[in-house]
Chains A and B, each alone.
Chain A
Amino acid sequence: MLDEPRLETLLNAYFDQSLSAEEKAELEQMLLSSARARETFRRHADQHGLLREWALRNQGADLASMAVPQASTRDSRVVPFPKKTIYWLGAGLAACLAVALLAFWRQPSPADESSRARTVARADGEVPWNKVALLAEAVDVEWASDSIRPALGGALPKGWLKIQRGILRLDFYSGVRVVVEGPAEVQLLSPEEARLERGKLTAYVTPPAVGFTVHNREFTVVDRGTEFGMNATGPSSCEVHVFKGEVALQGGIIKSGEKLLFGGDGVSVRDGKLTSIAPDPNRFVNPELLRTISDQALAANLSEWKARSDAFRSTPGLGVYFDFEDIDFNRQVLRNRSLSPRSGDGVIIGCESVPGRWAQKGALGFARTSDRVRFRMEEGTTPSLTLLAWVRVDGLPLQHNQIFSMAPMQVGEVHWKLNEEGKILVGVRAVNEASWGAWERLESPPVIGEKDFGCWLRLAAVLDGEHGVMKLYLNGREVASGPWKRVVPIKLGVADLGNLAMFSADGQPEPTETQVRNFGGRIDEFAVVTRALSAAEIREFSKWPEMLRAGLDTPAETSKN
């Protein structure tokens, strides 16, 4: 009979290299005489190797964090391992570092990739302390090619905002609301400071933000608690209109001290000459007017979406289509709007009623571990499947942030999720085993990050059994594609939107904390199609209405970088 506690002790001593001669003989005897002991040995050995690998990678990461990798440090040679730590810290640190980093570049682990993605993102200015304002509204905007291209509701970093046309409302972190009318070029310098190179700008400065400063070639406008407009019409012409309160003009054409302007005052500079003008609020868009314009644009967008949604209902193969409109909260029912449904309505468990892409559009908010929409697709299988969703990701706090799952614990089970690193994953269970290897999966690079939180994103996953391919899309663009080697028919059945569909039969393993995998955010449109949609069809589903498109299509472009 195998003395397992004794075996554990001896194995620990073996891997810690502290076996005595007697203990070694005892361990060898156990290993020779017992298959179970050999199995236990292999488990310990695997763990020993994994722990060492973990340690080496962390050492690499620690060292890597001490230096920003430059492209020029890459080496065409492949040397796959960090040499002993002590060497790393010696005179050849730089070379060893390049070698170790190269090893990770050539074949990065998921964790390495994620940390590197974060590093790159930060190098690109994606750091919270670099942000100065929020893009609160954007109407009919056409961005210049060399502009920051933020998402609506996204944080704006320092840098140039350049628009060919349209209107923006920027809410500076200092408390100033600024409306910019295109064509315009505005440089964001800090939460309290901007530069107007071209175009119109109206600032509404609240008491906490007194001192807000706008630079121009002709002068600097320092606010003393007011509402004022600026119109830079050319390289040597600019107007200031003070509607309320007081501003001070400094520098540039103001040769010394400052010139104070009060409500009802205005000045114009043209070719170096300063003249007084009457302020004209009608020449500027104020926030109220912007809201009206914005509301009209949004109403038009919503109508456009409704028309498109109606047309989408007859999409061939559309088994489930939740448009999240007219949700029956008394009965907790989410209606399946497909014209050829392969499922009944959804049942809402938990979830909050929240606005969708538009204030008037319905959506469900997913936050609690129990929140989900449960539905049941009619029993059967399909060779291919496409999943489509409009989601607002509010954060990725969990290791698994499940968007959709279907047919738990059956061959052909489907999972679709985001992980904590911002990767999108889709998978199909190929064999009936509770193991990682039981799945065929596709994983995107990290494509969803902080800048996307709170923004509406269009996600799609295609499982194409006929061609043995899986694809993932973000905002209408393919972000991952890979072979589906062990093709199995996709199982239709019980499904959960926004959570993991669990199988509760006896004999299943106890749920663990890794099975807490609810989605955190909002969903306002979702579809299951029992065929592989083409890229063009996915782009069509992912279209933003024309009016806001320029302002809202940009997250995909920035996310990919």
Chain B
Amino acid sequence: MFFRTPAVLMSEKNDPDSHVAEVQGLFIKHQPAVRGFILSMIPDFSLADDLVQETFLVVTKKAHTFEMGTSFLAWVGSIARYKVLETLRQHSRRNCFLSEEVLEALVVEQEHLSTNTDICLQHLATCISKLAPQARKAIELRYRRDCRPPEVARLMGCTMQSANVTLSRARAFLRNCLDQQMRTSTI
């Protein structure tokens, strides 16, 4: 149970709709972080998109329990985590998910969802523009068209091994580039 100050309670009482809208606004702001968190446990884009949407519905439903000024990321993270575990249990036979034990180990060490996603996205776009044409094509096929490596290979006219190597190198390049951009970021 969250403690809410009288002022907060009064403002919610006066305008509960605006409080819900404000919480929804926070969700939209932090949506990349929520999506990233979900994708780390559910790498399937389609399932993850559904989960982002379901998380949003829960956030809307439970908006009245969130007190402005407290950590939204911690609050929404717990909701997203619950939704993920629920989904994993429903799809427990799927090989592509890690076991709950491993996911617990990963989550425990993650203090909060990542922030600064807007600036990260800005830098990422810069880094993507620096990719070689084939590498960029592979990334676009994978992330924009949701193609898995066999499909990427077919569309690029290469072997699957080659597609895997291209994707792997592109990701490594992007990680380094992003690190460098973030390290040298000023204002």
Which positions in A face B, CB cutoff 8 Å? 8-9, 12-21, 24, 27-28, 31-32, 35, 38, 41-55, 57-59, 78-81, 83-85, 103, 106-107, 109-111, 399-400, 415, 417, 425-427, 429, 434-437, 439, 441, 500, 509, 512, 514-515
Give the chain B neighbours of A54 by CB distance below 8 A.
121, 124-125, 128, 143
Interface residues on B, range: 35 or more
Give the chain B neighbours of A14 by CB distance below 8 A.
43, 96, 98
Known contacts A52-B45, A80-B27, A417-B187; is-contact A16 B142 (Cβ 8 Å): yes
Which of A20, A45, A111 has a CB less than 8 Å from the CB of B39? A45
Give the chain A neighbours of B181 by CB distance below 8 A.
512, 514
* Smallest Cβ-Cβ distance to B165: which chain A residue: A12
Assess whether B134 is interfacial by the CB under 8 Å rule. Answer: no
27 A-B pairs whose Cβ atoms sit less than 8 Å apart in the complex: A13-B164, A16-B149, A32-B102, A38-B109, A45-B39, A46-B114, A49-B39, A50-B121, A51-B143, A52-B39, A52-B45, A59-B144, A78-B25, A80-B24, A80-B27, A81-B53, A85-B146, A415-B186, A415-B187, A425-B187, A427-B187, A435-B183, A439-B187, A500-B186, A509-B184, A512-B180, A514-B184
Alpha-carbon distance A20/B96, docked complex (angstroms): 8
Give the chain A neighbours of B4 by CB distance below 8 A.
none
Q: From DSSP, what is the main secondary structure of chain B's interface residues?
A: helix
Interface string of B99-126 (1 = CB under 8 A from A): 1011001100110001111111110111
Contacts A52-B48, A55-B143, A436-B119 known; 8 new A-B pairs at CB < 8 A: A12-B164, A17-B96, A19-B95, A24-B95, A28-B98, A28-B101, A38-B109, A53-B35
User: Which B22-37 residues have C-beta < 8 A from chain A?
Assistant: 24-25, 27-29, 31-33, 35-37
Known contacts A41-B106, A111-B121; is-contact A49 B37 (Cβ 8 Å): yes
Give the chain B neighbours of A50 by CB distance below 8 A.
32, 36, 117, 120-121, 124, 178
Q: Does A81 contact B121, Cβ atoms closer than 8 Å? A: no
Give the chain B neighbours of A51 by CB distance below 8 A.
124, 139, 142-143, 174
Alpha-carbon distance A109/B33, docked complex (angstroms): 13
Q: Does A435 contact B168, Cβ atoms closer than 8 Å? A: no
Interface string of B148-187 (1 = CB under 8 A from A): 1100000000000000100110011011001011111111
* Residue with the highest number of chain B CB atoms closer than 10 Å, among A38, A52, A109: A52
Give the chain A neighbours of B110 by CB distance below 8 A.
42
Alpha-carbon distance A509/B176, docked complex (angstroms): 14
Alpha-carbon distance A240/B143, docked complex (angstroms): 66
Assess whether B140 is interfacial by the CB under 8 Å rule. Answer: yes
Give the chain A neighbours of B139 by CB distance below 8 A.
51
Q: Does A399 contact B144, Cβ atoms closer than 8 Å? A: no
* Smallest Cβ-Cβ distance to A433: which chain B residue: B183
* Smallest Cβ-Cβ distance to A426: which chain B residue: B187
Give the chain B neighbours of A27 by CB distance below 8 A.
98
Q: Does B98 contact A31, Cβ atoms closer than 8 Å? A: yes
Q: Does A9 contact B168, Cβ atoms closer than 8 Å? A: yes
Give the chain B neighbours of A15 by CB distance below 8 A.
39, 43
Q: Does B174 contact A47, Cβ atoms closer than 8 Å? A: yes
Assess whether B21 is interfacial by the CB under 8 Å rule. Answer: yes
Known contacts A14-B43, A32-B105, A42-B40; is-contact A53 B117 (Cβ 8 Å): yes
Q: Does A49 contact B32, Cβ atoms closer than 8 Å? A: yes
Assess whether B66 is interfacial by the CB under 8 Å rule. Answer: no
Assess whether B46 is interfacial by the CB under 8 Å rule. Answer: yes
* Smallest Cβ-Cβ distance to B48: which chain A residue: A52
Which of B39, B52, B128, B182 has a CB less than 8 Å from the CB of A81? B52
Assess whether B44 is interfacial by the CB under 8 Å rule. Answer: yes
* Smallest Cβ-Cβ distance to A114: which chain B residue: B122
Alpha-carbon distance A48/B178, docked complex (angstroms): 13
Chain B min CB distance to A509 (Å): 6
Chain B min CB distance to A359 (Å): 35
Q: Does B122 contact A45, Cβ atoms closer than 8 Å? A: no
Alpha-carbon distance A55/B139, docked complex (angstroms): 9
Alpha-carbon distance A55/B45, docked complex (angstroms): 11
Give the chain A neighbours of B187 by CB distance below 8 A.
415, 417, 425-427, 439, 441
Give the chain A neighbours of B21 by CB distance below 8 A.
78
Alpha-carbon distance A28/B39, docked complex (angstroms): 17
Chain B min CB distance to A4 (Å): 11
Give the chain A neighbours of B182 by CB distance below 8 A.
435-436
Give the chain A neighbours of B99 by CB distance below 8 A.
28
* Residue with the highest number of chain A CB atoms closer than 10 Å, among B46, B52, B171: B171
Chain B min CB distance to A320 (Å): 21
* Smallest Cβ-Cβ distance to B40: which chain A residue: A45
Which of A31, A85, A427 has a CB less than 8 Å from the CB of B186? A427
Alpha-carbon distance A514/B116, docked complex (angstroms): 18
Give the chain A neighbours of B27 by CB distance below 8 A.
80
